[in-house]
Amino acid sequence: SQQGEEDPQALSIQEGENATMNCSYKTSINNLQWYRQNSGRGLVHLILIRSNEREKHSGRLRVTLDTSKKSSSLLITASRAADTASYFCATRETSGSRLTFGEGTQLTVNP
Amino acid sequence: GAGVSQTPSNKVTEKGKYVELRCDPISGHTALYWYRQSLGQGPEFLIYFQGTGAADDSGLPNDRFFAVRPEGSVSTLKIQRTERGDSAVYLCASSLGGLAGGQDEQFFGPGTRLTVL
């Protein structure tokens, strides 16, 4: 079953704009991870944020985590056409090792 | 190789047939995971190996699905009596595992697209 819910389901922006995607989840987690996927294959790991962290940066990516609201956001700054892809959040619960994925946000960056 | 590899990349089979999907994890990774992804959905967990043993197989949908990892490296996902509803992309991932357990980053392979006619 899917735990995470991503919002929005689809996002279309112009190159150079910022893109923000949100993720909500239901259970207690150990960490939350964001992945990118092109053309339905090959998930690429973007960033991992642990439950005791509130914010993390990696290049043009900024991730926040609010465990009280059970939500996370992914911000991509200065977007590029090459950022066009599906973005998924995935949670690792405090018990177990599986990742539980949301249904993803389809981001389109128009040149 | 540097990453997780999966073979075949595409598999077309007929309803009722048996299929095997292979995953080669990153060398040295003790944890291996199988996920299944249907069109327009996020991946869904199937099974997790730590070394040779299946530490969590609660995601396998039914007893037609089985996976092995006999030497703690390569894994094979086996599907018996395939059904049209089994059509999906099957993704394999590996991570360092060990003391980190499942807390570390999972690296995904390109997937096998299974089509059951």
Q: Judge whether B63 is closer than 8 Å to chain A, CB to CB.
A: no
- Quote the CA–CA distance of B92 and B75 in Å, as a whole number: 9
pLDDT tens track for B65-82: 999 999 999 999 999 999
Q: Do A98 and B56 touch (CB under 8 A)?
A: yes
Nearest by CB to residue A42, choosing from B55, B101, B108, is B108
Task: Write down the pLDDT at residue A1.
Answer: 41
Q: Which residue has the higher pLDDT, B113 or B104?
A: B113
Task: Write down the pLDDT at residue A2.
Answer: 46
- Is the model's pLDDT at A3 over the cut of 70? no
Task: Write down the pLDDT at residue B98.
Answer: 64
Task: Write down the pLDDT at residue B66.
Answer: 97
Is the omega angle on the peptide bond into residue B8 within 30 degrees of 0, that is, cis?
Answer: yes
Q: Judge whether B52 is closer than 8 Å to chain A, CB to CB.
A: no
Best to test chain A binding among B29, B44, B58 (most A CBs inside 10 Å): B44
Mean pLDDT, range B37-51, rounded to an integer: 93
- Quote the CA–CA distance of B93 and A106 in Å, as a whole number: 22
Best to test chain B binding among A50, A98, A105 (most B CBs inside 10 Å): A98
Chain A nearest-CA residue for B37: A40
- Is the model's pLDDT at A98 over the cut of 90? no
Provide the sign of the torsion angle of the four alpha carbons B45, B51, B52, B53, taken in this order: negative
Best to test chain B binding among A39, A43, A87 (most B CBs inside 10 Å): A43
Q: Write down the mean pLDDT value for chain B.
A: 92
**Residues B96 and B29 sit within 8 Å (Cβ to Cβ):** yes
pLDDT tens track for A59-97: 999 999 999 999 999 999 999 999 999 999 999 888 777
Which residues fall within 8 angstroms of residue A109, CB to CB, at 6 or more apart? A13, A14, A15, A17, A19, A79, A80, A81, A82, A83, A84
Chain A nearest-CA residue for B58: A98
Q: Phi and psi dihedrals of B107, rounded to 5?
A: -105, 125
Q: How confident is the model at residue B1 (pLDDT cuts 50, 70, 90)?
A: low
Percent of chain A whose pLDDT exceeds 70: 95
Q: Do B103 and A99 touch (CB under 8 A)?
A: no
Helix (H, G, I), strand (E, B) or coil at A96: coil
Q: Write down the mean pLDDT value for chain A.
A: 91
- B109–chain A nearest CA distance, Å: 6
- Is the model's pLDDT at A36 over the cut of 60? yes
- A34–chain B nearest CA distance, Å: 10
**Residues B106 and B33 sit within 8 Å (Cβ to Cβ):** yes
Q: Do A43 and B91 touch (CB under 8 A)?
A: yes
Q: Which residue has the higher pLDDT, A84 or A7?
A: A84
- Quote the CA–CA distance of A88 and A102 in Å, as a whole number: 6
Q: Do A41 and B89 touch (CB under 8 A)?
A: yes
Task: Write down the pLDDT at residue B9.
Answer: 95
